[in-house]
Structure 1
Amino acid sequence: MEKKSQILEILSDGGWHDREQLSAQLGISGSELEVQLDSLRRSHPELRQVPELGICLPREPQRYDRRLLEALAGGPVEVFDTIGSTNDAARELFEQGAPHGAAALADQQTAGRGRMGRSFVSPSGTGIYVSVLLTTPAALENAHLVTPAAAVVTAGILERFTRAEIGIKWVNDLFCRGKKISGILTEAVVREGKPAGIIVGTGINFATPPELLPAEMAGSLREDLMPGASRNEVAAAMVREMRDTLPELVRSRSFLPEYRRRSILLGRLVRVLPVGQESYEATAESIDEEAALVVDCQGRKIRLQTGEVSIRVFE
């Protein structure tokens, strides 16, 4: 039996195999094993190598593997099969004294939510639903910048694992090909009457088939995924970069040029939907240094820090 076939037979259990033990079992050197693995990856892009865990050919590439997630994220990740909301789970972690970067991840949510109290449909096996707790001073002192910075972080991660181009609709929605593929909900957690943490919750229609999408404007990255791209790697990258990268982005405001570049609103006619007020039409003009959207309504400049903007009626 040729070596590649032997390797596939050994890895067929879907578990993790120590690299040195695998070399010994096959009777080949480590360098020769690497040559064989490189060849196998061309036909099995889901093949994974992680120094802390070994080598694995997962039976179900999209199934969450906690050991893999934590190795790739560089820290603990609470993984749930089904949960009401990962933001609620992250809040519980905070109450239990969890540190900065604590994360909750679910295969399915039964009570996922978005901004303005909307529900977020979260079917199992195809989406990514992850919440990360931030407690650094940089995040807390710039809380109003966390959502737009998180949008930039998420867009960059998704483009690494897909062939998609990701745009951002102020303030918290990610779009691909005119469809919403992700939303971000940040919520404060309070201790002794003072903000002590921020939960960044992200829902992504990663490999969601069209029949499970809830609305006409909802989309999925399913057709844009790179070969072998898995929920484990994307979710781990989300945890790692929200924890390690986002606080410095908000402190320095260095995410703003990319946030503006990715905007799908600037220069377009939009409908502004202020909270508790009548909607009106305006032109989205700019995004300022505080990530507020500046619109022009019949020659009057209006700076929006809250509320919502719609482009649907103008498509």
Structure 2
Amino acid sequence: MMTKQGTIPRMPRTEQEADRLITLAEVDSTNVLAGEMLKDGRIGGDPADDGKIVVIAADYQTGGHGRLGRAWVNRPGESFTVSFVTVMPADVVADETVNGWLPTLAGLASRDAIRSAVLSSGARPRQQDCTLSIKWPNDIFCHGLKLGGILVQLVPLDARRTSVIIGIGINLALRAESLPTPQSTSLQLHVESLPDTQVLRDRIAADLVSGLRERIARFVDDRTTYAAQLLEETRQVSWTLGRRAEAKLVGGETIIGRAVRINPDASLAIVDDEGVEHTITTGDVGVLD
């Protein structure tokens, strides 16, 4: 139900780029809504639409969440809260040798889209080095602080088809005093002369549709070759590699050490203080220095 918490986003660029656009003033979670629409066949029901991208955007989420069930805090009119939904071949999504790259693929596409939107708007970085980086597996970082997060969810449709929901949250215009944690940041704190938030959100979303469409098509066409290319690309922009990191695993174990390598299957190698190497496939990895 829509309330005065938000306003319906105006997204003409995204409407042109996406195969379908759904915009809402307020929603519990764009990812949850996507899952409900997949379940009842409102999207993803026709195999002829496989590969197409549906965009669900909201000005405000009341129950947004990120990886490992964390709440995603957002403020109406100040955040990017958008989900991108597509359908991929089930055998590609189930390939454990490469499917770990899907979240990172989304992170790289988000990084590209933010950079492109900033450049096309004529905005200027407040500091000389405003290069965006990726904290494993796909958080978007700026100057060592979290700018955005991504949650990828898989919804099997049948034996041959799996839907991929990519929920992306980016802090666009939050003031410093409104940031949810000291480790987070907002784009306006690093870039000046940004356009109106609705315009900026539209530009980022449109570029994301284009970037995701291209990257996913390459992944489906030759996942092994493209995974190797994603590995090299990620190494170049990783905020995690070479730094001390703390990995909190799902089972409760904590590993502290140096992040030394991203593996071909997208897992992270951490060498602890005793020299033992650990392979991290899931869990919360924080950078300590």
Q: Give the TM-score, by structure 1 length.
A: 0.73
Paired amino acid for 2:109? V
| 2:263 is equivalent to residue 288 of structure 1 | yes
| 2:32 is equivalent to residue 88 of structure 1 | yes
Q: 1:182 is paired with a residue of what secondary structure?
A: strand
Matches within 5 A, 1:52-63: none
Shift of 1:208: 2.0
Structure 2 partner of 1:299: 275
Structure 2 partner of 1:256: 231
C-alpha distance in 1, partners of 2:192/2:210? 21
How big is the alpha-carbon RMSD for the aligned residues of Structure 1 and Structure 2? 2.3
C-alpha distance in 1, partners of 2:28/2:164? 19
1:150 is matched with which residue: 106, 112, 117?
106
Paired amino acid for 1:272? A
Which shows bigger deviation, 100-109 or 239-248? 239-248
Shift of 1:191: 2.8
Moved over 6 A (4+): none
Shift of 1:192: 4.8
Structure 2 partner of 1:238: 208
Given the superposition, is the C-alpha separation of residues 86 and 187 from structure 1 closer, same or farther in structure 2, using an over 3 Å criterion? same
Q: Contact conserved, 1:139 with 1:247, CA < 8 A, in 2?
A: no
Shift of 1:129: 0.9
Paired amino acid for 2:78? T
| 2:21 is equivalent to residue 77 of structure 1 | yes
Q: 2:24 is paired with a residue of what secondary structure?
A: strand
Q: Contact conserved, 1:131 with 1:202, CA < 8 A, in 2?
A: yes
Q: Which has the higher contact order (CA 8 A, sep 6+)?
A: 2
Q: Contact conserved, 2:141 with 2:147, CA < 8 A, in 1?
A: yes
Q: Contact conserved, 1:85 with 1:109, CA < 8 A, in 2?
A: yes
- After superposition, the C-alpha distances for 1:165-204 in whole angstroms (9 at most, x for unaligned) are 1111111211101210100001111235786211111100
Matches within 5 A, 1:97-176: 97-98=43-44, 99=49, 100-137=52-89, 140=93, 141=95, 142-162=98-118, 163=125, 164-176=130-142
- After superposition, the C-alpha distances for 1:39-84 in whole angstroms (9 at most, x for unaligned) are xxxxxxxxxxxxxxxxxxxxxxx9732444312x242210111001
C-alpha distance in 1, partners of 2:245/2:85? 33
Q: Contact conserved, 1:63 with 1:231, CA < 8 A, in 2?
A: no
Shift of 1:225: 5.2
Q: Contact conserved, 1:149 with 1:249, CA < 8 A, in 2?
A: no
**Identity in percent:** 28
Structure 2 partner of 1:52: none
Q: Contact conserved, 2:246 with 2:256, CA < 8 A, in 1?
A: yes
C-alpha distance in 1, partners of 2:209/2:92? 15
Larger Rg: 1
Matches within 5 A, 1:160-239: 160-162=116-118, 163=125, 164-192=130-158, 196-223=162-189, 224=191, 227-228=194-195, 230-239=200-209
Which shows bigger deviation, 160-169 or 265-274? 160-169
C-alpha distance in 2, partners of 1:74/1:133? 10
Given the superposition, is the C-alpha separation of residues 146 and 225 from structure 1 closer, same or farther in structure 2, using an over 3 Å criterion? farther
C-alpha distance in 1, partners of 2:108/2:87? 20
- After superposition, the C-alpha distances for 1:254-284 in whole angstroms (9 at most, x for unaligned) are 2221211111111111112111132131110
Structure 2 partner of 1:309: 285
How many residues matched?
251
C-alpha distance in 2, partners of 1:120/1:79? 19
Q: Which consecutive residues of structure 1, in runs of 5 or more, have no partner in the other structure?
A: 1-61
